[in-house]
Structure 1
Amino acid sequence: IIISTYENLGANATAMAFTEVYNGLQQGVVSGQENPLANIYTMRFHEVQDYLSLTNHAYHAYAAVMNQDSWDSLPEDLQAVMLEAFDNGRDASRALTLQDEETIMEEIKDEIAINELTPEQRDAFIEASMPVHEEYEDIVTTELLHKVYDAVGIEY
């Protein structure tokens, strides 16, 4: 899905072992990379590239998954406790990520040029990725996309 997205954006996407990205950037094997800020900072990618574009073009979500029969076998009060715990974990994770990203941006701002998209540019990214949504609609449902859009504040 990620490679297909970049191809729809007009890029020549290359899958590369994560441990090779730093050297790939340093030696010009690749001209850019896509990663969360935490990965960029931890792996020091900002040392070997000139620009960081904050496109917000992807939302990498994680799911808590449980067998339906196992879930159904739990008493309702325990299901409620687990749902509350999932919600609390999600909210805490999002808050910690935002806090971590602010710290990272402060740390690297003097080492790399940081570009933020205008709303029009962001909308162009969304529009260009729509064929990918259609290509993978059997995996990524419209309902799921709407939940993601709502979570990150994108109107659809």
Structure 2
Amino acid sequence: MSQISYRPETADDAPLIEALLERAFGPGRHAKAADRLRENNRLIPELSFTAWDGDRLAGSVRMWPVTIAGEPVVFLGPIAVEAELRKHKIGQQLVELACEASARVGWRAVLLVGDAPYFGRVGFEAEPARGVVMPGPVDQRRVLLKPLRDGGADGLAGPVWR
């Protein structure tokens, strides 16, 4: 592994990212409730990041606009890192970059569905998301929220829409 570099996603990255997601999650990823929020939604490329090991895509995180009961927030996911590089904190760095970029441009909070112990290391919690209702079945303990400013999670309860 060479030095990992990070940059915002570009349109040219899309085929490489799709191939990475296919390797990481398989075709079943489209059946998940979280995918409903990405379907027919507009990716926010300036908040979505890629990690590169030389000229090889090593990881990706994508961000999407959604609302919780009409309040705009950004939805994180999917995040994927090549299997042999998963112990190098590339995923954590991608999440931190995406959250920092989202805060800089004024988003109030980031929502995701994921592993609480993993995402808890970068400030995501289940408690602020307890009233968030995802489209379709999901384990509510995996619905996590990270406020990006003081009061960023206040009043965020209700259905999530794209």
Please give the TM-score of this superposition, normalised by the length of structure 1. Answer: 0.29
- Of structures 1 and 2, the one with the larger relative CO (CA 8 A, separation 6+) is 1
**The structure with more radius of gyration:** 1
Structure holding more strand per residue:
2
